[in-house]
Chains A and B, each alone.
Chain A
Amino acid sequence: DTGVSQDPRHKITKRGQNVTFRCDPISEHNRLYWYRQTLGQGPEFLTYFQNEAQLEKSRLLSDRFSAERPKGSFSTLEIQRTEQGDSAMYLCASSSRGTGADTQYFGPGTRLTVL
């Protein structure tokens, strides 16, 4: 058990609907990361937070995607007007320092299926 939890674990939705995922990092970690993983591929970076500040967003994060970490603790990732291409595993990770030597601890992921 890494200590990072994600909810829900699975989400099935219809194209055009909005979905929101939640991530609860390890409590003392100030860095939080979101990744997307499609079948057979490695995870791809989406965005990360240091405390409540969103410091970087990938080009993969279109304007339909928004992430928040309002109090520097849990984070939410919302996808508006979902498309079939959004079907993927969404992974959250946290770390304590954010240096190159720092270990990121991953949650179990939320698997999204868009019909």
Chain B
Amino acid sequence: DAKTTQPNSMESNEEEPVHLPCNHSTISGTDYIHWYRQLPSQGPEYVIHGLTSNVNNRMASLAIAEDRKSSTLILHRATLRDAAVYYCIRMNFNKFYFGSGTKLNVKP
């Protein structure tokens, strides 16, 4: 199956780090891993992407396992605005394969 596997939901306290896991055991060597998030009634929003090396940007960090069969999105300090559904995506031949996403709840 080309889709990724993620926990249905996770909870975090505000100002604390959050680690969102993703399994993509069938990933091929040229597939990129993308993470997007989606708020209710909105389209998905880009968060970060990578191929083999860990990646950092202003929003988050992406840690990719050495065998590339899993990855973890890291939000360093969760805020209430980070509450959303986070999707881990395989990009294969220009197509995105979404998982069912992790709903992140951030508690004040």
| Contact B30 A104, beta carbon cutoff 8 Å | no
| Contact A106 B45, beta carbon cutoff 8 Å | yes
| Contact A91 B31, beta carbon cutoff 8 Å | no
| Contact A108 B98, beta carbon cutoff 8 Å | no
| Contact B30 A100, beta carbon cutoff 8 Å | yes
Name the interface size band of chain B.
20 to 34
A42 to B90, CA, bound (A): 12
Contacts of A99 in B (CB 8 A): 94
| Contact B94 A106, beta carbon cutoff 8 Å | no
| Contact A45 B32, beta carbon cutoff 8 Å | no
Name the interface size band of chain A.
20 to 34
Contacts of B95 in A (CB 8 A): 33, 45, 48, 56
Residue among B43, B45, B51, B100 with the most chain A CB within 10 A? B43
Query: What sequence of 0s and 1s flags, for each residue 58-84 of chain B, a beta carbon within 8 Å of any chain A beta carbon?
Result: 000000000000000000000000000
Contact of A2 among B3, B43, B49 (CB under 8 A): B43
A64 to B49, CA, bound (A): 35
Contacts of A56 in B (CB 8 A): 94-95
Contacts of A98 in B (CB 8 A): 94
| Contact A93 B43, beta carbon cutoff 8 Å | yes
| Closest B residue, CB atoms, query A56 | B95
B24 shortest CB reach to chain A, Å: 13
Query: What sequence of 0s and 1s flags, for each residue 72-115 of chain A, a beta carbon within 8 Å of any chain B beta carbon?
Result: 00000000000000000001010000111101111111010000
- Asked whether A4 is an interface residue with its Cβ less than 8 Å from the other chain, the reply is yes
| Contact A2 B45, beta carbon cutoff 8 Å | yes
Q: Interface on A for B, CB 8 Å cutoff?
A: 2, 4, 31, 33, 35, 40-45, 48, 55-56, 91, 93, 98-101, 103-109, 111
- With A101-B49, A106-B43, A109-B41 given, name 14 new contacts (CB 8 A): A2-B45, A33-B95, A42-B100, A42-B101, A43-B87, A44-B98, A91-B43, A93-B43, A98-B94, A101-B51, A104-B96, A107-B43, A108-B42, A108-B43
8 smallest beta-carbon distances between A and B, as pairs: A42-B98, A106-B43, A100-B32, A98-B94, A45-B95, A106-B44, A103-B46, A100-B91
